[in-house]
Structure 1
Amino acid sequence: MGTEEAIKRWDRFADTYSQNHSEHGDIHKEVFLNPAIFSFIETITNKNVLDAGCGEGYLSRMLAKSGAHVTAVDYSARMIEIATKRTPPDLEIHYQQGNCEELHFLEDHSFDLIIANMVIHDLANYEKAFREMYRLLRDQGTFIFTILHPCFVTPGSGWEKTKDGKKLHWNVDQYFYEGAYEQRLGDQEKMLFFHRTLTSYINTLMKTGFRLEGIIEPKPSEELLQQYPSFEEDFRCPDFIVFKVKKS
């Protein structure tokens, strides 16, 4: 099972997925990922930005409202349809269907900043995707990407619970397995994710030519924790990791 199968599943799941997204994304993006992403962003006004794997477009809209010139791609045709419908006419976002493993229709050195938000683990060939991001960035351009934390969200991971449902600890399994696995999202659809080790991610970034600038393992702020107290459990282990790299 590869990227083509993942695309089919995301096309089927797109409407259900998008229902859970407001203008700040879903609750996990609002609490964990958005603060981390924007803490890594430097000047954005009048910069050319690629939202690589835009989904229903919430981040593209946030970036455009911040003054960026935004191009957005997603490999799901249905996601692009939804993103286009949700975007007001006054926000000039250029949406195109495209797989981040091969974005031949975009020119070399076109972007100052590329963001891939919860996308890379949806791609079978992440090495090729990293090379595409490198090709598309201008010199000293920045690539920010977020993924499920590969040390803790693995095939077979999950909470160990008592009979009455109390969470005891988080189980991790099959960390050194690299490849496709299924994860249920929503009530019916099993999505296809691709697991790699932290070693593979970092070594591939360096091999591609990127320079590591920073890493964040997001945890909820005190302010958001007051709003969403159930996320107290996320101080026990991280669900996500965010990378900032630069084109050398």
Structure 2
Amino acid sequence: MTRKVGTEEAIQRWNRFADAYAANHTEQGDIHKEVFLNPALFSLMGNVKNKNVLDAGCGEGYLSRMLAKAGARVTAVDYSPRMIEIAKERTPNGLPIRYQQGNLENLYDLEDQSFDLIVSNMVIQDLADYEKAFQEMHRLLADRGCFIFSILHPCFITPESGWEKTIDGHKLHWNVDRYFYEGAYEQRLGDQEKILFFHRTLTSYINTLIHTGFHVESIVEPKPAKEMLEKYPSFAEDLRCPDFIVFQLTN
């Protein structure tokens, strides 16, 4: 846990971490996105050809590029100025992607009901005011549109969680503590930067979505497929408990 902080400090930390974060991403994202999140997201998104899509929290832009190559017209926003710079640098000329800096808590310059699909990949946990972000996604979604977002699984990735190990490092079981704490906590990523995450309970997430006006269509707790385990055998341990959860919602 940490002192009371908000999204502005989270932005500053992600901005400082942007280059190191991007260096760890290929055109499939990082290894966790390749193994867990991309298969879940694309199975829920279906055919995106000719759809107006918002990549809400695009980071270095890998998902925006994948969506554009699949035929979508993409608007990509991220609250880190440096992330947007990197995303533009990595995007080939001709891909239909419009990048802009923007905080999902207030995307005032985007028009109501302007997107057929909104996808937010591992972003909502980076925002202090997730209720406001959900309200913005609901405002921006066209009638019969779809909002899909992924986060760290709040039941298993808590402010104090991790493997219980033997003295020689054998992993016994996954410990979870402080689940009902809601607020900011720090997580070291890379060698230097401590990133801010904002923890909420699963109850808070689902009730907030319902109260915002969303309908829950599907929930996925991604696990590695057989072909991914053949490629990355170490991920067999992720069959013991989930790291992520993905929601598919309609308005």
TM-score (norm 1): 0.99
Question: Which of the numbers 241, 247, 251 marks the counterpart of 1:237?
Answer: 241
Q: For residue 165 of structure 2, what is the aligned residue in structure 1? A: 161
Identity across the alignment (%): 75
Q: For residue 33 of structure 1, what is the aligned residue in structure 2? A: 37
Question: Which of the numbers 107, 123, 132 marks the counterpart of 2:136?
Answer: 132
- Give the letter for the 2:66 counterpart: M
Residue 43 of structure 1 and its aligned partner are, at CA, apart by: 2.9
Q: For residue 109 of structure 2, what is the aligned residue in structure 1? A: 105
- The answer (yes or no) to whether the contact 2:72–2:96 under 8 Å persists in 1 is no
* 1:149 and 2:115 correspond: no
> How many angstroms apart in 2 are the aligned matches of 1:37 and 1:238?
16
Q: Counterpart of 2:177 in 1: which secondary structure?
A: coil
Residue 42 of structure 1 and its aligned partner are, at CA, apart by: 2.8
Q: Counterpart of 2:71 in 1: which secondary structure?
A: coil
> How many angstroms apart in 2 are the aligned matches of 1:235 and 1:42?
25
Question: Which of the numbers 75, 88, 96 marks the counterpart of 1:84?
Answer: 88
CA RMSD of aligned residues (A): 0.5
Q: For residue 211 of structure 2, what is the aligned residue in structure 1? A: 207
Q: Deviations over 1:52-84 (max 9, x none)?
A: 000000000000000000000000000000000
Q: For residue 52 of structure 1, what is the aligned residue in structure 2? A: 56
Q: For residue 12 of structure 2, what is the aligned residue in structure 1? A: 8
Residue 187 of structure 1 and its aligned partner are, at CA, apart by: 1.0
Q: Counterpart of 1:94 in 2: which secondary structure?
A: strand
**Which stretches in structure 1 are left out of the alignment for 5+ residues?**
none
> How many angstroms apart in 2 are the aligned matches of 1:92 and 1:43?
16
**Which stretches in structure 2 are left out of the alignment for 5+ residues?**
none
* 1:73 and 2:42 correspond: no
- Give the letter for the 2:193 counterpart: E
> How many angstroms apart in 2 are the aligned matches of 1:230 and 1:87?
32
Q: Deviations over 1:178-231 (max 9, x none)?
A: 000001111111100000000000000000000000000000000010000000
* 1:94 and 2:98 correspond: yes
Question: Which of the numbers 36, 52, 64 marks the counterpart of 2:68?
Answer: 64
> How many angstroms apart in 2 are the aligned matches of 1:26 and 1:43?
23
Q: Counterpart of 2:150 in 1: which secondary structure?
A: strand
Q: Deviations over 1:3-59 (max 9, x none)?
A: 000000000000000001000000000000000000001331100000000000000
> How many angstroms apart in 1 are the aligned matches of 2:196 and 2:88?
25
Residue 144 of structure 1 and its aligned partner are, at CA, apart by: 0.2
Q: For residue 22 of structure 2, what is the aligned residue in structure 1? A: 18
> How many angstroms apart in 2 are the aligned matches of 1:201 and 1:168?
30
- Give the letter for the 1:191 counterpart: I
- Give the letter for the 1:118 counterpart: M
Stretches of 4+ aligned residues off by more than 6 angstroms: none
- The answer (yes or no) to whether the contact 2:147–2:249 under 8 Å persists in 1 is yes
Q: Counterpart of 2:112 in 1: which secondary structure?
A: coil
> How many angstroms apart in 2 are the aligned matches of 1:213 and 1:180?
29
